[in-house]
Structure 1
Amino acid sequence: MLEVEAKFAVPDPGEVRARLTQQGVRMARRQQERDIYYNAPHRDFGETDEALRVRYDDTGVTVTYKGPKIRVGSAKAREEFNLSVASGETLETILSRTGFLRAAMVSKVREFYEIGDVTVTLDDVEGLGTFIEIEILTEAGGEDAARRIGAIAKDLGVEGPPIYTSYLEMLLGSSPSD
Structure 2
Amino acid sequence: MAGYEDEFTNLLYHSLCLAILGLKGDEMNEIEVKAKLNNEKQVLEKLTEAGIKLSPSLSQQDDIYVALGEDLCGNKKKNVLRVRTQGKEIIFTLKRSRTNELDCIEKETKVSDKKALEDMLDQMSYKKVISVSKKRRKGKFEDLVICLDEVEGLGSFIEVEKTSAEDGEAIQEELFNFLESLGVKREDRVFKGYDTLKYDSINQKGDKNDS
TM range (shorter): 0.7 to 0.9
Number of equivalences: 171
Describe the SS at the equivalent of 2:129.
strand
Any unmatched runs of 5+ in structure 2? 1-27, 202-211
Larger radius of gyration: 2
Aligned to 1:110: 136
What do the CA deviations read for 1:106-152 (whole angstroms, capped 9, x no partner)?
A: 00000001001100100100000000011001133335533431231
Correspondence for 1:157 among 183, 191, 195: 183
- One-letter amino acid of the structure 1 residue matched with residue 152 of structure 2: E
Summarize the alignment of residues 40-119 of structure 1 with structure 2, pairs less than 5 Å apart.
40-41=67-68, 43-49=70-76, 50=78, 51-58=80-87, 60-71=89-100, 76-119=102-145
Counterpart code for 1:64: T
User: Which residue of 2 is the match for residue 15 of structure 1?
Assistant: 42
The amino acid that maps onto 2:140 is E
Q: CA RMSD in A?
A: 2.1
Match 2:165 to one of 125, 135, 139: 139
The separation in 2 between residues aligned to 1:28 and 1:45, in whole angstroms, is 31
Q: SS at 1:70's partner residue?
A: coil
**What runs of 5+ residues in structure 1 fail to find an aligned partner?**
none
Contact 1:29 1:113 survives alignment (8 Å): no
Q: Is the 8 A contact 2:72 2:199 kept in 1?
A: no
Instruction: Write the distance in 1 (CA, Å) between the matches of 2:55 and 2:72.
Output: 33
CA–CA distance in 2 between the matches of 1:62 and 1:44?
Answer: 22
TM-score (norm 2): 0.73
**Structure 2: how far apart are the matches of 1:29 and 1:110?**
8
- The 3-state SS of whatever aligns with 2:115 is helix
Q: Distance in 2 between matches of 1:173 and 1:42?
A: 17
CA displacement at 1:41 relative to structure 2:
2.3
Aligned residues with identical type, % of pairs: 27
**TM-score after normalising by structure 1:** 0.86
CA distance in 2, matches of 1:158, 1:30: 21
User: Relative to structure 2, which stretch is displaced further, 117-126 or 8-17?
Assistant: 8-17
Judge conservation of contact 2:72–2:196 (CA < 8 Å) in 1: no
Shift of 1:52: 1.1
The structure carrying a bigger strand percent of its residues is 1
Shift of 1:171: 1.1
Distance in 2 of aligned mates of 1:79 and 1:85: 20
Say whether residues 1:28 and 2:60 are aligned partners.
Answer: no
Q: Secondary structure at the match of 1:149?
A: helix
Secondary structure at the residue paired with 1:16?
helix
Determine which structure has the larger helix proportion and give its number.
Answer: 2
Q: Note the C-alpha offset of 1:167.
A: 1.0
Cα shift at 1:53: 0.7
